[in-house]
Structure 1
Amino acid sequence: MLLLVFATLAFPWVGAAVAGRVARALPPRWACWALTASALLLAGGTLSALIGLFHVPFLASLENLPLSRTVREWPAVLPLAGAAGALLLLQSVLLARRWLRHRRVLKLAWLSAQEGVGDGDVLVVPGAEADAYALPGHRGRPGKVVITSGMIRSLKPEEREVLLAHERAHLAGRHHLLSAAVDLTATVHPAITRLRRALAFHLERWADEEAARAVGDRRTAAAAVARAALAGSARGEGRGFPLLSATSGPVPLRVRALLGPAPAGPHGGARRAGLTGLAGSVLLAAVLALVMAYGLHEYVEYSARQLLGVPASCSDLWGTFDDVLGVGGR
């Protein structure tokens, strides 16, 4: 059964690669939802495996198997349970730190935006630095589009409209919630970091397409993205998940996509392939988590019956499975 647990822990590496390939075949909006769902499922499967491994001694006690007997028969049970518990504790600490950092970044962003001049949902902040980003709502305050005077001077009037539409798309789509969800799940398993980077790109593509649709000119939208990126300093992934900047992400890929035709909704073979890949990933993650949880209980019950000399029931199936694979507890 340990083989199944370790397979569940290793599965996110495969799942993240599959989810990334599926996302590239989907329109930006669909890709963002697929990546977010995949990250949550992969994190959930990882936590299920660790919690199950951590509770093996407890499950053995439920079967009236003393801890001393358990350790004698399965010498690795306490080290493995301890390692699982330590990983769960570490993940909890990292998750709390990441969440607090998110809240701190958002608070500081609102404090720095207080010097801006409001015009509807737009805050113009004085300064030579060229920047623009979507500032999500905080403590009852609605979300705002923050743009510096330096960025305004760097863009033509029609390009400013593209920039504002881009950031409004981030706010309207509540993209910060998707970004936060994947960023937090990345503390559970390192493979999810790959999905976080992919999501950052597809979120920008989603906002780009919404901006191009709003202004009705894809070439102007592409020029605005390129000019805003040149005017602003390179930030990689931006200042943090609350601040979704128009200058972040792989800008050349975004510009190239805007110079091409608008992405159509998935249909025909592409739609079937995308939906099949996504459904397969979801189903596999769910089945692994359920089989791992049920199988772990059955494995402990079977082993306890064998050790205590009690006739085994249908649990013999799991014992036979372990004997064939050579991963039995004893």
Structure 2
Amino acid sequence: MTYVLVLVVLTLALPWGAAAVARRLAGALPPRHACWTLTVAAVLMAGGTISALIGLFHVPFLASLERIPLVRVLEVWPAAVPVACVAGVIMLLQLVLLVRRWFRQRSLIKHAWQSAAEGTGDGDVLVVPGADVDAFALPGYRGRSGRVVVTSGMVRALRHGEREVLLAHERAHLSDRHHLLSAVVDLATTVHPAVRGVRASLGFHLERWADEAAAAAVGNRKVAAAAIARAALAGASQERRTSGGYPLLSVTTGPVPQRVEALLGLKPEVPQGGARRAGALGLAATVAVSGLGALALAYGLHEYVEYAAIAVRGS
């Protein structure tokens, strides 16, 4: 049984290492590839954790399938039932947190739509009156298409060319559905705490992805960098709309100095063959870390029950 317990510990502990690897890999990739790498890594880490817990929860049921009396199972592994109960409680707690986080996300979007109801504009842009300095990408809700919400305070804080950068940035969030990647990773944090580090890294790379799209749209990286810096400075005191760790995506969020430095110091990022290979290898490593541990645990539990069944039949 020691073998199974070691697998359990490794399966639940490895996501911490996998998260660090995913963040390091994301830093070496173009923003688009980095975001998808982090999202897939978060999903795999959450899936591996759930698989490990399901395996533990099913130990008594596996024994019953092999027609092993529960009393005999407890003689070999006295902690079988307590461990299965703990795994069941953890999964129930994860489900409650997952549902709660989902409703918090939906509530955040609902309230954002309500606050933007008084806005006016043309097309996909809503300008909300007021002195607040804010702008964010508002995802679609209940049949309504996504909108770029900008306060009149933000409009006044930026110059004409800088406003184009702001709109292009927020439109990139909407067109590339960045809010879905953010929501998926945010939900995965309810399964394993290691995913929280991935969520923070994803937020930065989503903003970098939109920064590059905005720079390409206006055709001037210096203007884009200046607009992002000015918008962030103007909205520095603005309280961000957030639900837990799930914010509405905005040009003013994330580590702005690093984003500005990237725009000023880098050419437009084009995925090269080396970057694609690195991304593929990174994802493969994440699969190995997050998935194989869970498979090994399932195999170990199966072998343990088989061994116990042979022992019972031979006695």
SS at match of 1:117: coil
In the TM superposition, what are the counterparts of 1:89-128 in structure 2 within 5 Å?
89-128=92-131
SS at match of 1:302: helix
Q: Would the aligned equivalents of 1:238 and 1:244 in 2 still touch at CA under 8 Å? A: no
Moved more, 141-150 or 57-66: 57-66
Q: Which moved more, 1:34-43 or 1:230-239?
A: 230-239
Contact kept? 1:200, 1:237, Cα under 8 Å: no
Distance 1:27 1:91 in 2: 33
CA distance in 2, matches of 1:186, 1:204: 20
The one-letter code sitting in structure 1 at the alignment partner of 2:134 is D
Which is bigger in relative contact order (C-alpha 8 A, separation at least 6)?
2
Q: Tell me the residue number matched to 1:63.
A: 66
Match of 2:34 in 1: 31
Q: Aligned equivalents of 1:238 and 1:137: distance in 2?
A: 16
> 8 Å contact 1:238–1:248 — kept in the other structure?
no
Listed one character per residue, the Cα deviations across residues 219-253 of structure 1 (whole Å, up to 9, x for unaligned) are 00001110001111356875243621111000100
Alpha carbons 1:135, 1:242 under 8 Å: kept: no
In 2: Cα distance, 1:124 partner to 1:269 partner: 43
- Alignment partner, residue 321 of structure 1: none
- 1:74 maps to what in 2? 77
Is 1:250 the counterpart of 2:255? The answer is: yes
Post-superposition CA distance 1:134-163 (Å, at most 9, x none): 000011100000000000000000000000
Calculate the TM-score normalised by the size of structure 2: 0.94
Structure 1 stretches of 4+ with a deviation exceeding 4 A read 234-238, 268-271
Mapping 1:145-160, distance limit 5 Å: 145-160=148-163
Separation in 2, partners of 1:286, 1:228 = 42
Give the distance between the partners of 1:235 and 1:293, measured in 2 at CA: 49
Alignment of 1:1-330 (within 5 A): 1-234=4-237, 239-240=242-243, 241=246, 243-267=248-272, 269-309=274-314
Aligned equivalents of 1:255, 1:236: Cα separation in 2: 21
Q: Which amino acid aligns with 1:142?
A: S
TM-superposed CA distance for 1:269, in Å, is 4.6
Is the 1:163–1:224 contact (alpha carbons within 8 Å) kept by the matching residues of 2?
yes
1:209·1:262 contact (CA, 8 Å) conserved in 2?
no
* Separation (CA, whole Å) in 1 of partners of 2:45 and 2:277: 22
Asked if 2 retains the 8 angstrom alpha-carbon contact of 1:134 and 1:171, the reply is yes
| Aligned-partner SS, 2:289 | helix
Deviation string 1:282-313 (CA, Å, 9 cap, x unpaired) is 23323222222233222211222123318xxx
Question: In the alignment, is the contact (CA less than 8 A) between 1:162 and 1:211 conserved in 2?
Answer: yes
Amino acid at match of 1:16: A
Task: Tell me the percent identity.
Answer: 65
| Offset at residue 271 of structure 1 (A) | 4.4
Aligned to 1:322: none
1:205 partner letter? R
Using the alignment, how far apart are the partners of 1:123 and 1:150 within structure 2? 13
> Following the alignment from structure 2 to structure 1, what is the Cα–Cα distance between the partners of residues 5 and 218?
56
Matched residue pairs, number? 310
Distance 1:242 1:166 in 2: 16
Bigger Cα displacement from structure 2, 119-128 vs 237-246: 237-246
- Secondary structure of 2:299's partner? helix
Gaps of 5+ in 1: 311-330
State the distance in 1 between where 2:308 and 2:267 align: 59
Stretch deviating more after TM superposition (270-279 or 127-136) = 270-279
In structure 2, runs of 5+ residues without a counterpart are none
- For residues 215 and 235 of structure 1, what CA distance do their matches in structure 2 show? 26
> Contact 2:15 / 2:289 at 8 angstroms: preserved in 1?
no
Amino acid at match of 2:22: A
Partner of 1:318: none
Q: Deviations over 1:32-63 (max 9, x none)?
A: 00000000000000000001001101111111
Once superposed, what is the RMSD of the aligned Cα atoms?
1.6
